[in-house]
Amino acid sequence: MRTFPSLFRLFAIVLALVALSGCSALSQTMKASPSLMNAMGLADYPLKDLERKYTNSESRWLEVDGVRIHYRDVGEGHPVVLVHGIMSSLHTWDGWVDELRRNYRVIALDVPSYGLTGALPDHLDYSDETLLSLFSKFVDELELERFSIAGNSMGGYIAAVYAAQNPQRVAKLVLLDPIGYPQETPWLFDVATLPGIRTLGRYVAPPLLVTLNVRDVYGDPSRLSQENLARYIHMSQRPGAKSAYMETMIELKRRSTLEVPLPFYRIKAPTLLMWGELDRWVPVQLTERWKADIPHLELIIYPGVGHMPMEEIPYESVQDAKAFLADLASTPSSRSDAARQTSQGISDLERLLQGETLETPEPVVESELEEMAPLEL
């Protein structure tokens, strides 16, 4: 009975927001929409097309509790797991992955409910406990004994709670604008969870709302590329995404005012807290709560930046992360030396098989050893 009034109310809100934001948001939305039905939020984006567009040769899949998790696993060395926030995907870390993979094994996943992992099966709910359980089982399946985690927004909350519960396994922790403490919810949550709209939103999700939302989480919306915006819109139209997004917003809205005991004081890992000064989703003032609970914490605040520093200013933020993680890095030179030794060994073997005689280095006699400078330890 309330479908048409709710639909009218939803589009009235959208039109009001368009009027406030100007026509650029509408133009960006139309460019990212493959059809008029998609632009109206009435159609899904076919899963096979999404997977074709947003996977590559490094994409992997792992089933955990009936959830088919999409992830990428690149590089060598100390493992660093990257956990994104709500309504995002592993692609938000692309700028970080390109840098970190040179010295680390980097694992980025599409958090269950989002990206190509998608909605949860019926036997699972959208509670914090479920997401934490899935994350814990995911890293167990990858046999990660000791590793570092970087998490943004809800991903920061997952990372922080996991680090508090598993201090022996987390070497270092990087948190970017994490949620956790009570706060006012973003405007999108307030609109989406209005009576009537929360039901309608499971079936109709105008991508213009996605555009306005993503622009809102950037401190400087001019930094938002059309490619990044298109990805957010496309992922929001993955089959099952509308319902999954709504369930998440309802859950986060419910817990936003709850003052419940949080385990962050148990975190033992050295922690780097990154925050965009212009974060309109999770206010920078909450850094004081984190500093009070985690005494061994470093804080970097980025002027002019919003809720996702790793996406808005990827190069600057990843340099800070690299400096923080530096003592865990494997050196490119050592890997290069190993590669050269392997290559030289293969070359020597080929020459032996061809009947060549390899030159043997002359032995060092004892008198020569005495003339050598002692090694400095």
- Tens digits of per-residue pLDDT, 13-55? 555 555 444 567 777 888 888 888 887 878 899 999 999 999 9
Q: Provide the residue ranges of all domains of the chain, joining segments of one domain with +.
A: 3-328
Average pLDDT for 273-284: 97
What confidence score (pLDDT) does residue 206 get?
A: 86
Residue 278's pLDDT band (boundaries 50, 70, 90)? very high
pLDDT digits (tens, 9 = 90+) for 91-139: 999 999 999 999 999 999 999 999 999 999 999 999 989 999 999 999 9
| pLDDT at 330 exceeding the cut of 70 | yes
Output phi, psi for 247, to 5 deg.
-60, -40
| pLDDT at 339 exceeding the cut of 80 | no
Residue 345's pLDDT band (boundaries 50, 70, 90)? very low
| pLDDT at 332 exceeding the cut of 60 | no
What confidence score (pLDDT) does residue 258 get?
A: 79
Fold of 3-328: Rossmann fold (3.40.50)
pLDDT digits (tens, 9 = 90+) for 241-273: 999 999 988 888 888 887 788 999 999 999 999
pLDDT digits (tens, 9 = 90+) for 55-89: 999 999 999 999 999 999 999 999 999 999 999 99
Output phi, psi for 92, to 5 deg.
-65, -20
What confidence score (pLDDT) does residue 342 get?
A: 43
Q: Which of 168-172, 207-211, 328-332, 364-368 has the lowest mean pLDDT?
A: 364-368
| pLDDT at 201 exceeding the cut of 50 | yes
What percent of the chain is modeled with pLDDT above 90? 63
Average pLDDT for 184-189: 85
- Extract the tokens encoding 338: 């190993």
Rounded Cα–Cα distance for residues 304 and 23 (Å): 23
Query: Three-state SS across the chain?
Result: CCHHHHHHHHHHHHHHHHHHHCCHHHHHHHHHCCCHHHHCCCCCCCHHHHHHHHCCCCEEEEEECCEEEEEEEECCCCEEEEECCCCCCHHHHHHHHHHHCCCCEEEEECCCCCCCCCCCCCCCCCCHHHHHHHHHHHHHHCCCCCEEEEEECHHHHHHHHHHHHCCCCEEEEEEECCCCCCCCCCHHHHHHCCCCHHHHCCCCCCHHHHHHHHHHHCCCHHHCCHHHHHHHHHHHCCCCHHHHHHHHHHHHHHHCCCCCCCHHHHCCCCEEEEEECCCCCCCHHHHHHHHHHCCCEEEEEECCCCCCHHHHCHHHHHHHHHHHHHHHCCCHHHHHHHHHHHHHHHHHHHHHHCCCCCCCCCCCCHHHHHHCCCCCC
Output phi, psi for 192, to 5 deg.
-65, -30
Residue 190's pLDDT band (boundaries 50, 70, 90)? confident
| pLDDT at 10 exceeding the cut of 70 | no
Average pLDDT along the chain: 85
What percent of the chain is modeled with pLDDT above 70? 81
What confidence score (pLDDT) does residue 33 get?
A: 82
How big is the chain, counted in residues? Answer: 377
